[in-house]
Amino acid sequence: MRFLPFFAALFFSLSLPLLLSASLAAATIPTRPPNVVIFLADDAGWGDYSFNGNTSVRTPHIDSIATGGVSFDRFFVQPVCAPTRAEFLTGRYHPRTGVRGVSTGLERLDLDEKTLADAFKAAGYATGAFGKWHNGSQWPYHPKARGFDEYFGHSSGHWGEYFDAPLEENGRMVRTSGYIVDVCTDRALDFIQRHRAKPFLCYVPFTTPHSPWAAPAADWARFKDKPIAQTATDPTREKLDETRCALAMVENQDANVGRILRRLDELGVAENTIVVYFTDNGPNSFRYNGGMKNRKASTDEGGVRSPLWIRWPAKLPAGHTIPEIAGAIDLLPTLTSLAGIPRVGAKPLDGRDLSPLLLKQNRPWPERMIFNAWNGNVSVRTQRHRLDAQGQLYDLVADPGQTTPLNTRETALAADLTAAVQTFRRDVLAELPTPPGARPRTRAAANAVDPRPLHVGYREFPITMLPARDGEPQGGVKRSSNAPNSSYFVNWKSRDDRMVWNVEVVTAGRYTVAIDYTCPLPDAGATVELSLHAARLTGKVAPGWDPPLYTNQDTLPRPPGESQMKEFRTLDLGEITLPAGVGPLVLRALEIPGQSVMDVRRVTLTLLP
| pLDDT given for residue 447 in this prediction | 56
Candidates 497, 498, 482; CA nearest to 446 is 482
Residue where a domain terminates, one of 325, 346, 367: 367
Residue 129 in this model has a pLDDT that exceeds 70: yes
Residue 12 in this model has a pLDDT that exceeds 60: no
What is the C-alpha to C-alpha distance for residues 104 and 448, in angstroms, rounded to an integer?
7
pLDDT tier at 608, thresholds 50, 70, 90: very high
Phi, psi of 185 (to 5 degrees): -65, -40
Question: Do 349 and 459 have their domain in common?
Answer: no
| pLDDT given for residue 1 in this prediction | 39
- Backbone CA torsion sign across 391, 396, 402, 404: negative
Question: Do 217 and 335 have their domain in common?
Answer: yes
SS3 of residue 576 by DSSP: strand
| 79 in Cβ contact with 299 (< 8 Å) | yes
Q: Considering the domain boundaries, does residue 416 fall inside one?
A: no
- Backbone CA torsion sign across 561, 562, 566, 572: positive
Q: Considering the domain boundaries, does residue 434 fall inside one?
A: no
Candidates 216, 271, 209, 185; CA nearest to 49 is 209
Q: What is the CATH number of the domain that holds 99?
A: 3.40.720.10
Q: Considering the domain boundaries, does residue 5 fall inside one?
A: no
pLDDT tier at 214, thresholds 50, 70, 90: very high
Q: Considering the domain boundaries, does residue 18 fall inside one?
A: no
Q: Residues 51-57: contacts with CB within 8 Å, 24+ apart?
A: 51/307, 51/309, 52/290, 52/307, 53/230, 53/290, 54/230, 54/247, 54/288, 55/229, 55/230, 56/226, 56/227, 56/228, 56/229, 56/230, 56/243, 56/247, 56/288, 57/247, 57/250, 57/251
Residue 442 in this model has a pLDDT that exceeds 70: no
> What is the extent of the structural domain holding 583?
454-607
What is the C-alpha to C-alpha distance for residues 156 and 161, in angstroms, rounded to an integer?
12
State pLDDT tens for residues 244-260.
999 999 999 999 999 99
Question: Do 174 and 278 have their domain in common?
Answer: yes
pLDDT tier at 31, thresholds 50, 70, 90: confident
Q: Considering the domain boundaries, does residue 260 fall inside one?
A: yes
What is the C-alpha to C-alpha distance for residues 120 and 199, in angstroms, rounded to an integer?
9
State pLDDT tens for residues 347-377.
999 999 999 999 999 999 999 999 999 999 9
Residue 235 in this model has a pLDDT that exceeds 50: yes
Residue 75 in this model has a pLDDT that exceeds 60: yes
pLDDT tier at 492, thresholds 50, 70, 90: very high
Cα dist. 606→329, 374, 457, 458, 467 in Å?
36, 36, 7, 10, 14
Question: Do 158 and 46 have their domain in common?
Answer: yes
Q: Are strands 166-169 and 172-175 parallel, antiparallel or unpaired?
A: antiparallel
Question: Do 211 and 345 have their domain in common?
Answer: yes
Question: Do 459 and 360 have their domain in common?
Answer: no
- pTM > 0.85: yes
Residue 5 in this model has a pLDDT that exceeds 60: no
Question: Do 351 and 462 have their domain in common?
Answer: no
Q: What is the CATH number of the domain that holds 491?
A: 2.60.120.260
Question: Do 111 and 237 have their domain in common?
Answer: yes
SS3 of residue 195 by DSSP: coil
Q: Considering the domain boundaries, does residue 580 fall inside one?
A: yes
Residue where a domain terminates, one of 333, 367, 401: 367
Q: Considering the domain boundaries, does residue 129 fall inside one?
A: yes
| pLDDT given for residue 103 in this prediction | 96
Catalytic positions: 81, 134
Percent over 70 (pLDDT), the chain: 92
State pLDDT tens for residues 139-156.
999 999 999 999 999 999
Looking at this protein, which amino acid is placed at residue 444? A
Phi, psi of 345 (to 5 degrees): 105, 155
Question: What letter does residue 264 receive in the DSSP assignment?
Answer: H
**Average pLDDT across the chain, whole number:** 93
Question: Do 484 and 362 have their domain in common?
Answer: no
pLDDT tier at 431, thresholds 50, 70, 90: low
Q: Considering the domain boundaries, does residue 378 fall inside one?
A: no
| pLDDT given for residue 399 in this prediction | 97
Question: Do 472 and 567 have their domain in common?
Answer: yes
| pLDDT given for residue 141 in this prediction | 98
Residue where a domain terminates, one of 352, 367, 382: 367
Please give the tally of structural domains in the chain. 2
Residue 339, H or E segment: helix 331-339
pLDDT tier at 430, thresholds 50, 70, 90: confident
Question: Do 93 and 225 have their domain in common?
Answer: yes
Residue 121, H or E segment: helix 116-122
Question: Do 348 and 488 have their domain in common?
Answer: no
